Every structure is written in structure tokens, then in C-alpha cells.
Amino acid sequence: MPASIHGASIRHRLMLLVLTSIALIWGIALFSSYRQATREVSEWEEARLAELAQILALLDERNLTTLANARIDVREEEKGGEPGANNSDDDDSLPRDALFQVRSANGDVLAGSPQLRALQAWDLPVPPASGAQSMTLGGQAWHTFTLRDTALGHVVRVFEPANTRSDLVSGVASRIARPTLLALPVLALLVWFSIGWSLVPLKVLSGAIRARDINRLEPVDIGRAPTEVRPLVDAINLVLSRLRNSIERERAFTADAAHELKTPLAAIKVQAQVALAEPNTALQRVAMERVVQGVDRSARLAEQLLLLARLDVHEKLSTVPLRPSAVAKDALLANERNARQKNIHVTLTGDMRAEINAEPVLIGILLDNLLDNAIKYGHTGGNVEVAVQHEDGQVQLTVRDDGPGVAPGDLTRLTHRFFRATGNQATGSGLGLSIVARIAEHFGASLHLGAGIGERGLAVKVSFPAYAGTD
């Protein structure tokens, strides 16, 4: 084969498999029919020899002697058969003369075909019972039938050459095989067109996809697709839907990111222009400090955007067993200055030995964002609690405050990118909880938002699968 079956087209593979299967089944059927025909012809011939032996047993010695010197042709049909009959398939064209020998009760030969002497079969021992036998005489296969006539005491033996390739059997096999051989090309043609017609929906589908513009991502519709093609169409439409949603998210993300970056950049530009135009050194210093703050804000926003981009492409990160309490201590130290400025009391409680399997830097960013939000949006002189709990195979990391909280209608939108709850005056990009949600999703954790300390403020609970080695 010029190409492997796996690399060939579906049409060629189906043709090969179907025709091979049909040819195999027909071959087995033809062989079985030939064997059956051979068996039936053999039984038929034995029945004829038995019938001939019975006829010979009824003849007297004079008629037997006359018949022994004559020719007994046991062919079913001679070449040509009856006029006008088409017997070319089952003619017995080869001569088949039957020989016989009749013995008396005491074993004397009453009559026999002279040819038996030439075949050295005249004095063959007589079988003890009636029945058929096969033997070789003069280098040729023969069928014999022995009949013991109990009434007269005669023993009749009939000999017939065994034509193993009998014209009759060959004719039967020919009649069986000829329609099969004639039908195979016709069947192959029908199978070829049937398979081609069945594969038309695939051609229509490929044509519809090939003709698609790069900006057309609506579902593919090819009408009533067959059951076997429908899963492929559904899978393609699912991919197109996911691609369309992904592109829409990226477009929205790009637009929102550009909008969020534009604000601090504009502020930086204004403060830089003020610093250049202001002759007062003290005012210039204030303007430059605001420039630095704007740069810091822009840098933090850029870092958050890059982190979200890494998480969106599902970049595989190496993980290690770690204790959230240890990461939380580092996050508390990093946010200590901001908490002190607002006189906010921050505490860490819970199971200090609980472990999860995660990436330390991302868990640090998650906690840093939660603490930053809790401190930023909490009220002056308030409280922030960080709790670590280990129960039911989960390690729950909770950060809650007693600030003004979030309106119930805004809770479901807090994890959306660039969303900021109404009424909040603190500066921010609206990416903090979105990053927390994506990090939690990345490590198979669940995120729950609810009321904070004393049913005030906001509580964010992230439930991680506990590390298997945790006691």
C-alpha cells in the first residue's frame, strides 16, 4: 500500500475495510458451499453405486457375464446434455466406467469386469460387511461399494474411478462463484458512492470553516447534520464560543487596562509640569513626591496586570508544601506601615502548622492583596484579622475587617477586573480581589465573600486542599 491505513482518507479506509470484510465473508461462504457440494455429490455417488450393486445382485449369471464385457458409463450427464439445454456448468465430460465383480456364497467369481485383472483387483479380499470404501488401483483412486445379498448369498462389488475434480462439483462451485465475482465490482462501486454521499456533511463542514473570516466566530450551522457528525460540529462551536469569549475578555481587559493606566500617567504628567513651572523649591518637592507616588502606583498596576496575564495562560508553576501562617507573617510585616498609619490593629490566629501545596510567591501576593484591601478600605482605628483553620481536609485562610463593608449587590462583582465598590474613596485599581480569585482558582481553592468582624466590613475566605502530609 502506498500509504498507511491511518494516513489514508476516511473514504479509502472505509472502502478497504468494507470490501475486505465482504470478500472475506464471501470467500468463507464460497469455500463452505464448495465443501458442502463436494460432500453431497460424494453421498450421491455412493447412493448410485449402492443402487447399481442392488441391480447387479438381481441379474443371473448369463446376464452378468454379458454386462461384464460391456461398458457401464456412470456419468450423470454427458457433454452437451439435452438439445437446447445449457449444461456447461455441470457436465461430466470425463469418462467414468464402472467395474464390478459378483461372487457366490462360497467365494467363487460368477462374473466380473475383465479390467479388474489389469488393475490387479480380481483377487482382492472381500470386506466382511456391506458398505463403501476408497482405494488405489493401478495408481488411480477408486470408490467401491460392497453389497452382501443374504437372500442369494451373492457378494457384489462395484468399482468407480474417483474423479476428485468432478465436472459436477466444479460446475456447482462455478455457479456459486460466478455471481459473487460479477457482483463484487458492482458492490465496490455502490460502496464508493454510498460512502462519498455519507461524507458530504464533512465536506460541507470543512467548506464552511474554510470560508470563515478571521473575525467571524459565530457557531457553524450546516443544517441537519448526521448523528456521527453532530458531536464534531458541537465541539467546533464550543471551541469557537470559548475563543470568542476569550477574545472579548482580552479586548475588555486591554481597554480597561489602558483606561486604568491612563489616569496615573496623566497625574504624573501634571505633577511633572507643575514641578517644572513652580519656582518654589518646597512646592517642587511636593510635586515630585506625587510624581514618585504616581510612578509607584503605575508600577504596581503593571505588575498586577502581568501577574493576571501569567495566570490567564495557565502557566504551570512549581509548588511546594508551605504553611500559610508563615506567609501571612511576612505579609503582615510588609503591610505594617500602612496599618500603623491608620492605627489599624492586625492579628494572626489559628492553626500555625497547617500546610497546603502551592507556590510561595503567589500565596504571598494573595495575602498581600487581601491585607492591602482590608487596611485600605477599613476605617481608622479598626481591626483586621487573619485566621488559618484546618478542618475536613481543607485549610481555610480568612482575612476580615470591621470597615464599612460592601453593599450586598456588589459582592458578586468584587472579583471582576477593575471593579470598585460604590462609596469607596480609597485609591486602587480594582484588581486586588480579581488576582486573589485567579490565584485561588489556579491552586484548586474556593473563594467565599461575606460579612466581616461583628457582621461589619468584609471577610474573604479562601479554602485550599490540605497538603497530604499534614498531620
DSSP β-bridge partners for residue 398: 387, 461
Q: Which is it for strands 109-112 and 99-103: parallel, antiparallel or unpaired? A: antiparallel
pTM of this prediction?
Answer: 0.44
| Average pLDDT over all residues of the chain | 77
- Mean pLDDT to the nearest integer, 20-39: 81
pLDDT of residue 1: 42
Q: 345-350 and 383-391: which strand pairing?
A: parallel
Q: Phi first, then psi: what are they for 112, rounded to 5°?
A: -170, 155
At residue 199, does pLDDT exceed 50? yes
Which pLDDT score, from 0 to 100, does residue 118 have? 86
Extract the C-alpha cell encoding 13: 479506509
Centroid of chain to Cα 63: 81
**Whole-number pLDDT of residue 81:** 44
Answer whether 97's CB lies under 8 Å from 71's CB.
Answer: yes
Helix, coil or strand: residue 147: strand
Identify the band that residue 286 occupies on the pLDDT scale cut at 50, 70 and 90. Answer: confident
| CA separation for the pair 74, 143 (Å, rounded) | 12
Residues in Cβ contact with 275 at an 8 Å cutoff, skipping those fewer than 6 apart: 284, 287, 288, 291
Burial of 383 (0-12, 13-18, 19+ CB in 10 A): buried
33 sits in which H/E element: helix 10-58
The pLDDT tens digits of the residues spanning 141-174 come to: 888 999 988 777 789 999 988 765 456 666 667 7
Which helix (DSSP H) or strand (DSSP E) does residue 378 occupy?
Answer: none
Task: Give the pLDDT band (50/70/90) at residue 231.
Answer: confident
CB atoms within 10 A of CB 440: 23
pLDDT of 4: 46
- The residue whose grid cell reads 495408481 is 139
In this model, does residue 36 exceed pLDDT 50? yes
What's the pLDDT band for 311 if we cut at 50, 70, 90?
low
What's at 403, amino acid-wise? Answer: G
Give the residue-averaged pLDDT of 349-362.
86
Joined together, the cell numbers standing for residue 137 give: 488401483
Confidence of residue 364 (pLDDT cuts 50, 70, 90): confident
Q: What percent of the chain has pLDDT over 90?
A: 6
Q: Which letter does DSSP use for residue 314 in this model?
A: T
pLDDT band at 463 (very low <50, low <70, confident <90, very high): very high
- How many CB atoms are located within 10 Å of the residue 439 CB? 23
Give the DSSP letter string of 53-118. HHHHHHS-HHHHHHHHTS--B--SS-TT-STT---TTT---S--B-EEEEE-TTS-EEEE-THHHH
For residue 424, is pLDDT > 70?
no
The mean per-residue pLDDT over the stretch 111-121 comes to: 88
